[in-house]
Amino acid sequence: MKPLSVVSLTALLLAIAVLGTRAAPVPNVSGSTESRGNQLAAWWDSYLSSAAFRKQLGPEDIWRSSRDELAQHLDAFHQRLDQLDYLKRWVLSNKLTRSALTTEQRHTLATPFLPWKDKALSNGYVNRRQLADWLREEGSLLTRVELALHDVATFLPDVSPPR
């Protein structure tokens, strides 16, 4: 090969490598998802810092709480489910995010949360065993949904859900 063609071939390969590097996603080293300008990640960070997320509802809350305290716990939990339901419906309706999901993530996000049991508190009697069973089932799905949405917010490019 002639020296001039080797130089031009090297320059071409360098240009392709540099352009390819600029187009590649930059790993989030700082830990903050907002540094990428990803609005979906910003929404996720907001969800994680919300009071509904921090207020975990456990079986002990169902058994130890008064009826009024239990209603407050369940309202916060319901608010958390509403936030997650909104985001999972949006992720599934967006072509970019849906195509990036694994089959398992797609199945998890397509699984609806159980019907809300607000009527369990409407009469004078509270079926705490039924609420504990419901919470156990819902908690398992909630954890899987949060893991899938965390992956979407962390690894996908800038996509912005409507507000």
Backbone CA torsion sign across 47, 52, 55, 61: negative
**With 70 as the cut, is the pLDDT of residue 25 above it?**
no
> How far is Cα 92 from Cα 30, in angstroms, rounded to an integer?
28
- pLDDT of 158 reads 60
Arithmetic mean of pLDDT, 35-64:
72
DSSP code of 27? Answer: P
State the distance between the two ends of the chain, measured CA to CA, in whole angstroms. 59
Phi then psi for residue 29, to 5 deg, are -80, -35
Cα–Cα distance for residue pair 10/129, rounded to 1 Å: 71
Higher pLDDT, 76 or 36: 76
61 or 82, greater pLDDT:
82
User: Domain ranges in the chain?
Assistant: 36-155
pLDDT of 50 over the 90 cut: no
Q: What CA–CA distance (Å, rounded) separates 136 from 117? A: 14
Beta strand segments in 1-155, E: none
**Position 20 pLDDT exceeds 80:** no
Residue 6 confidence (pLDDT): 42
Q: What is the CA radius of gyration of the chain?
A: 23
- The answer to pTM > 0.75 is no
